[in-house]
Amino acid sequence: MVWGQEGLIFAAHAIDILLIGLVARSAWTAHRMTSDAPLRRFAMGFLLLGLSHVVAVALEYTVWSTPDLPEGSLDAFDVLFWAYYLATLGGFAFVFASFGRHPFRWTPVLTPVLLVSGLLLESLVLLEMFFVVLHAGLNHIARARRGSLQTAFGFFLLLLGHFAFFLDYQPLTPRAPIGEIPSTLGYLLLWHSIARPRWPS
């Protein structure tokens, strides 16, 4: 067990969960003030992303604490594995839907999760995040505000982090530590961009 790597990953998850919670709370508070449905979807998306990080901690602890995982039977690892991807894909699907734009409604974001491979699921996460970044960029072009630019760049950093996870993906090992850095920076930027939003009057 590589304690240094384990500590780094767990610390990154803890920071991410805190930042995700702050983003979700800010978006939900704004939703209660404005009753804006996209804000509710945005908040729900980040609640699911926070849940995915909690599940990821449990999943990685299971990998580290159980070197020889049993094969051929449903166990805690299987449940955590599927829960992580369902929460991650669901979270980014809610975020994608929060942009409220009509183009690209055919995207695989809404495709049912019927895959059986972790690598394919990681690919689906990357594809889904690509459309999130795309629509965040389109949103900035339409509004051209500093907050929208920070939001787009924050999601781009999340995409960069998940791309690093994808390049070093192994189904029975923790996520690559190099990907935690842009992910945490992305969540920090997203929290900063939504902490003091300029909501339309």
Interval 39-88: pLDDT, tens: 888 889 889 989 998 988 888 887 777 766 555 556 777 788 888 889 98
CA distances from 98 to 6, 13, 40, 94, 182 (A): 34, 24, 8, 6, 23
Sign of CA dihedral 2, 174, 81, 59: positive
Which residues, other chains included, contact 144 with Cβ-Cβ below 8 Å and sequence gap of 6+? none
Residue 201, pLDDT > 70, answer no
